[in-house]
Amino acid sequence: MIEAQNLSRRYGDFTAVDGISFSVREGEILGMLGPNGAGKTTTIRMITGFLPPTSGRVTVDGKDLFESPRAARRQVGYLPENVALYGEMRVSEYLAYRARLEGLSRAEARQAIPVALERCLLTGVRDQVIGTLSKGYRQRVGLATAILHNPRVLVLDEPTVGLDPRQIISIRELIRELGRQHTLLLSTHILPEVDLLCDRVVIIDGGRIIAEGTPQSLRESWTGNPSIRVVLKEAPADAGEALGRIPGIVGVAPLEEGAWRLECERGADNPVDPREEVFRAAVANGWTLLELARERGATLEDIFVRLTTHDAAAAETAPQAAGTPLPDEPEVVS
Amino acid sequence: MNGTLATYFRELRAYFFSPLAYIVLFFFLVASGFIFVYIVSQLNDPRVAGGGPPLGYFFQATWLILLLLGPLLTMRLVSEELRSGSIEVLMTAPVTEGQVIAGKFLAALTFYAFLWLPTVAYGLMISAYEKVDWGPVAAGYLGVMLIGSLFLSIGIFASAMTRSQLLAAMTTGALLFVLFLIGIFEGLVNNDVAKKAFNYVGLFNHIEELSNGIVDTRRLVFYLSGTLFFLFLASRALEDKKWR
C-alpha cells in the first residue's frame, strides 16, 4: 500500500532522513520504532505529503505522492504527533469541516460523521467545544478525522504520547480495531506498543533503517544464549565457581547477593536445559535453593537499546531517553 | 473548490467566535461614527466654507482607520495554523495552498464587508434630511472594498510568512504604511512621470475619485491585480514552508 523508495530529507546541512526504503503491505500494521530524533516524524511527514523529500519517492496505493498528490492523499488518514485542532469548534462541527475538506459530499458526510464518532467513542462529546476536551479525547478527535473519509491507509505518529495509562489502553484498543480495516503505519518509541500492535517493525536510527522484521524474528535473531537465574540462601563464597562446573553451563555472572545468571550452552536444535543439573548440584553441596528460573531471551527493549546505543555513556541513559515504561524485572518463563 | 469553501466557512465562524474581531468591530464603529458626526457638524457650520456630499468625505476619511485595523483582521489567519501545527492536517488533506489562501481571504473580506455594513445607516440618515445621490455612494463602497481587498491580501501574505501573529500584524502595518506614504509623495515631486506613477498607486486619489462617483477601470485593475499578486505570494509562502 505504501512504498517508500530511498527517501532522504535534509534541513540545510543536517540530514534527518538518509535513504530510507520500506513498504507497508495491504492490511498489515507496520511499527516504526526509533529513539527521539531518529527521523520518524520526518519520514512520516514525507509519507503523508506534508514534507517533500529531498530525494526519493513515495507511492500510496500505486499513486505517486508528488505526481498525483490529491489522489494519493485521499487514501491516507493522518494523525500527527501534535494533534492541533480548532479549539472554538464543537466536535461534530469540526468533523463536518474536515469532511468538506476531504471532499466528501453532504450525504457522505452525514453518513461518515456518526460512524467516525461511534468508532472513536466520541458520541457522548459530539456537541462539546474542542477547547474544553481532555488530551485523550482530543487524540480521539484526531483519530476520528483520520478515519472520516475511510482511507485505505492510516498513518499515526506516536498516537499514545502524553496520555494517561487508561487513555493509552483505550487508544491502543482503538488502534487494534482500526488495524482490522485499514493498513496502518504506526510510529512510536514505546516498545510494548510495538509488541502488542504490530505485525512488522522497522527500527530507525540516525535517519537510517537499522533493523526490520516481525517482533518475533527480531527477538530471535538477537537473542544470545538462553540463561537461568539462580538464587541461593546463604551461599558459600565458592558457590559461583561450583555452578560454573555444572555441565551445560558456559558462563556465570554474579547478580545481587546470592544470585547468579548462568549462561547455558545452546544446542543445535534443542537448547540444553541444565536446571535439573543445577538442582542436583545444590542438593549435593547442601545449598538452599530459593529460586531457579529460565530467563526469557532478549526483549525488544534489549534489541532496541543495543541497536541505538552509540557509546557507553548513552547505554546508561538510553532506556530513559527512549521513554520506555517497561518493568525492569526480566519476565520469567518457566 | 471544496478546500476553498471548507476553509471559508471555518474562518468565517472563527471570526465571529474571536473576541478580537468584536474589538475591531467596536473600534471601527466608534471611529467611523465619530468621523461621520464630525463631517456633518462641519458641513452644517456656517463658519466653515465649502460643502459637498457628506458621504464622500466620510469615505475619504474613514478608510484611514483600516491602516490600523486591517492588520488585526488578518494576522491570525495563517500564523495561528503555523504556530499550533494545525497546518499539518490541513495541508495533508487533498487541498492546495491556493485553495486554502483563497478561502481565508474570502472569509476576511466577508468580515470586512460586515464592518462596513452598519455605515449604510449613515447614508439613510442623510437621506432623511436631503436628497442623496446613491451612485457615488455605491462607488465609495466599491472603493473601500477594493482597498480592503488589497489590505487584507497583504495581511494574509504577512501572516503566511510567520508563526507569530504579532510579527504578522507589524509587517502588515509597515507594508500598509509604505503604501499610504506613496500616495503622499505625489505632492512632493515635480517630475511629471514620477507624479503620474505616484498618482497611479496613490490610495488617496483613488478613494477620492471613487467616492465622487468616478469609476476608473485603471483603479479596478490596480486593486484586483494587487490583491491577486499578494494572494499568490501568500500561497507561495505557505508552500515554501515545506521546503525548508
Distance from CA of B73 to the nearest CA of A (A): 17
Residue A144 identity: A
Q: Give the β-pairing of A63-64 and A14-24.
A: unpaired
pLDDT of residue B237: 93
- Asked if A50's CB is within 8 angstroms of B91's CB, the reply is yes
Distance from CA of B74 to the nearest CA of A (A): 17
Least confident stretch, A62-71, A172-181, B196-205: B196-205
Cα A264 to chain center, whole Å?
Answer: 30
Task: Summarize chain B as % helix, strand, coil (round to 5).
Answer: 85, 0, 15
pLDDT of residue A317: 43
- Asked if B5's CB is within 8 angstroms of A50's CB, the reply is no
Whether chain B has a CB inside 8 Å of the CB on A100: the answer is yes
The chain-wide mean pLDDT, for chain B, equals: 89
From B3, which residue of chain A is nearest by alpha-carbon distance? Answer: A101
A34 contacts A208 by C-beta, under 8 angstroms: no
Mutate: best of A101, A141, A147, A153, partner B, most B CBs <10 A: A101
- Distance CA(A197)–CA(B16), nearest Å, equals 43
pLDDT of residue A109: 93
The highest-confidence range among A223-227, A312-316, B240-244, by mean pLDDT, is B240-244
- Distance CA(B93)–CA(B98), nearest Å, equals 13
From B83, which residue of chain A is nearest by alpha-carbon distance? Answer: A84
pLDDT value at A313 more than 50: no
Residues A313-323 have a mean pLDDT of 41
pLDDT of residue B130: 83
Q: How far apart are the first and last CA of chain B?
A: 28
- The beta strands (E) that lie in A54-98 are given as 55-60, 63-64, 76-79
Q: Give the β-pairing of A227-233 and A259-264.
A: antiparallel
Distance from CA of A202 to the nearest CA of B (A): 24
Residues of chain B with C-beta less than 8 angstroms from the C-beta of A95: none
Q: Which residue's C-alpha cell is 465562524?
A: B13
pLDDT in tens, A244-299: 888 777 778 787 778 888 877 766 555 567 788 888 888 888 888 888 887 766 66
pLDDT value at B229 more than 90: yes
Phi, psi of A126 (to 5 degrees): -60, -30
Give the residue among A152, A120, A115, A156 at the shortest CA–CA distance from A138.
A120
pLDDT of residue B25: 93
pLDDT value at A64 more than 50: yes
pLDDT of residue B244: 65
Can you give the pTM of this predicted structure? 0.81
Residues A4-28 have a mean pLDDT of 89
Give the residue among A48, A308, A18 at the shortest CA–CA distance from A185.
A48
pLDDT band at B4 (very low <50, low <70, confident <90, very high): very high
Residues above pLDDT 90, as percent of chain B: 55
pLDDT in tens, A216-243: 777 766 666 677 888 888 777 788 888 8
pLDDT in tens, B15-63: 998 899 999 999 999 999 999 999 888 888 878 777 778 888 888 888 8
Whether chain B has a CB inside 8 Å of the CB on A85: the answer is yes
| Nearest Cβ partner for A50 among B10, B17, B242 | B242
Rg (CA), chain A: 25
pLDDT in tens, B92-105: 898 999 999 999 99
Phi, psi of B57 (to 5 degrees): -60, -35
Least confident stretch, A202-206, A322-326, B120-124: A322-326
H or E element that contains A169: helix A165-179
- Asked if B17's CB is within 8 angstroms of A100's CB, the reply is no
Distance from CA of A203 to the nearest CA of B (A): 24
pLDDT in tens, A107-146: 999 999 999 998 888 889 999 999 999 888 898 899 999 9
pLDDT value at B109 more than 50: yes
| Nearest Cβ partner for A74 among B3, B84, B94 | B94
| Nearest Cβ partner for B92 among A49, A52, A97 | A49
| CA angle (B112 as vertex; B107, B114 as ends), nearest 5 | 100
